[in-house]
Amino acid sequence: GAVVSQHPSRVICKSGTSVKIECRSLDFQATTMFWYRQFPKKSLMLMATSNEGSKATYEQGVEKDKFLINHASLTLSTLTVTSAHPEDSSFYICSARYRGGHPYEQYFGPGTRLTVT
Amino acid sequence: GQNIDQPTEMTATEGAIVQINCTYQTSGFNGLFWYQQHAGEAPTFLSYNVLDGLEEKGRFSSFLSRSKGYSYLLLKELQMKDSASYLCAVRDGGGATNKLIFGTGTLLAVQP
């Protein structure tokens, strides 16, 4: 089946620093990738949609200069949290949809837990 | 605006049946999904409904009424491992975007 990985699985960083999270589709080409964040005991909130080779589309209220998304290849998308603050601490999950796949299916990565101290 | 509502928490007994409801009001509709998520893990796909009616898949069934903006997930023969969060999500557009809007999630606790 379609497998999506994320790296790192957990990261702790100091306030003011930047951290990069990678999302990879391991056995398929992902034409579209999605980034979500999830607060404890809350549901997933879509942050942005990225298509390979084009700029990401951000949801309302998500700062594009703070959450930099790059989808440089069909198997890799990255989310960089710039100048991180404690309120950015969250569980970040990516998902991917593959070319030729069922239009309704997204495959989720295992998530990255970010803690900003 | 987009609004997807589910009960926050539910408790059920092992071996029993539980129904988790979801109501939605979205600007568009192109399918409703149910996902299961264990704590600290990624959501896993359970079901997809785009037409009215019941879709059955083993112990899990999902129902959709588009006119009422309503869906439910039915879990039969509950097992302890079914303790998890259940997320209702609506796909609000067609084509390549495939954007999902998630509900608040229902935390199900299965007790012996």
Mean pLDDT of chain B: 92
Write the DSSP symbol of residue B38: -
* pLDDT above 80: residue A115: yes
Q: Return d(Cα A116, Cα A81) in angstroms, integer.
A: 11
C-alpha gyration radius of chain A:
13
Residue A69 Cα distances to A25, A33, A98, A104, angstroms: 16, 10, 18, 23
Do B104 and A42 count as a contact with CB atoms less than 8 A apart?
yes
- Whether omega for the bond prior to residue A8 falls within 30 degrees of 0, making it cis, is yes
The pLDDT value recorded for residue B97 is 58
A38-97 per-position pLDDT tens digit: 888 778 899 999 888 788 999 999 999 999 999 888 899 999 999 999 999 999 999 998
Do B40 and A31 count as a contact with CB atoms less than 8 A apart?
no
For residue B76, which phi and psi values (nearest 5 degrees)? -105, 160
pLDDT-based confidence at B17, cuts 50/70/90?
A: very high
* pLDDT above 80: residue A12: yes
Q: Return d(Cα A68, Cα A58) in angstroms, integer.
A: 10
B46-75 per-position pLDDT tens digit: 999 999 999 999 999 999 999 999 999 999
Q: Does A111 touch chain B (CB under 8 A)?
A: yes
Selecting from B40, B99, B103 the residue whose C-beta is nearest the C-beta of A46 gives B99
Q: Return d(Cα A60, Cα A49) in angstroms, integer.
A: 12
Do B100 and A32 count as a contact with CB atoms less than 8 A apart?
no
pLDDT-based confidence at B24, cuts 50/70/90?
A: very high
